[in-house]
Structure 1
């Protein structure tokens, strides 16, 4: 349980309890899909799991980028470039998701690229206990390349007005292509990041 018992911590604890009840064994992957506050929310969720005695591995999609030349091939401010060309999904799956799911003593990597240096990072292979939970944050976690990868996805919903122009436009592309609000297992409104609210939507 997270302290103090703020509305944010209570929501995070409830979400952790729900996920642990349904996916507490067998190396589940939990995705925190969002452009606003996803890393902090994923960190809080990891802390809640750890407080309950679960082993947790944290990773961020922003540590699995393509080189700047590839990311900006459509222009530095292109929404299409941000959506289609920013992330190295192949490496993300190959060095993190697939070996993590294998379990046992198989090593995996939680980061492959440093955006500030525009260069790959030295691979640090780590292992985890059999029932560890992998929590990944980042935008676009429900796009086709990653469909079915996560056992549970929480979509952090924020008004586009809170995002910068490029990122907001990229999320419009994402919403039109994937409908992440419909596909997610949980929808969390983060219009006020300190007071997130779970939203229950009709999937019909």
Structure 2
């Protein structure tokens, strides 16, 4: 195993090259997996413009817009790590409304947001069409090991110490969920691309 340090811009550039080189003319579904402390949304956002400059249409989706209603998320309390791990993400909704339609043979018509967690109401988002050759970029936490279909999966790896240090103290109750994720799923094995992300200004690609 080799670890190659990169700048954030170089990391984004290498991922864009890898996405653009994937075979086939269908759409490409990319999952950027990382704890909130790793801010996977920032890396996901950094891929959008370079891909568009290559002529690849992009649809950006965040799993924070595919959480289940509060009555289901908080059924076991507001700070239950097992509920956070098992019950928060609407896996069925994300697959049905986004990943399946943008997969091989799909309609290409996807709903970029399903649920507004702040208002605890259905999103008013409109369906969007991603043409063949387009790229879907999804960011979120605890995405691997759920059977979510994708052509490329990227995991932003934080050591336990870095995760605890960079997580808001008010969210430390989620830490056991990430420990369980490491033990049960092993994202270092499940993802196609592993990025060591203890310092977001000095990421390192594991090869």
For normalisation by structure 1, the TM-score amounts to: 0.88
User: 5 Å matches for 1:126-165?
Assistant: 126-146=128-148, 149-159=149-159, 160-161=163-164, 162-163=166-167, 164-165=171-172
Match 1:195 to one of 184, 190, 202: 202
The unaligned stretches of length 5 or more in structure 1 are: 1-5
Q: CA deviation at 1:172?
A: 1.0
Relative to structure 2, which stretch is displaced further, 164-173 or 84-93? Answer: 164-173
Q: Aligned pairs, how many?
A: 193
For normalisation by structure 2, the TM-score amounts to: 0.86
Q: CA deviation at 1:194?
A: 2.1
Higher relative contact order (CA 8 A, sep 6+): 2
* 2:22 alignment partner in structure 1: 22
User: 5 Å matches for 1:168-187?
Assistant: 168-187=175-194
Task: Decide whether aligned partners of structure 1 residues 73 and 198 sit closer, same or farther in structure 2, where only a CA change above 3 A counts.
Answer: same
The unaligned stretches of length 5 or more in structure 2 are: 1-5
The whole-number CA distance in structure 2 between the counterparts of 1:21 and 1:156 is 21
SS in 2 for 1:154: strand
Match 1:65 to one of 57, 64, 67: 67
Query: What's the CA shift string for 1:142-181, capped at 9, x where partnerless?
Result: 12342xx011111001133223412322111111111111
Residues 103 and 130, structure 1, Cα contact 8 Å, conserved in 2: no
The whole-number CA distance in structure 2 between the counterparts of 1:123 and 1:53 is 25
Mapped pair 1:13 → 2:13: yes
Mapped pair 1:46 → 2:48: yes
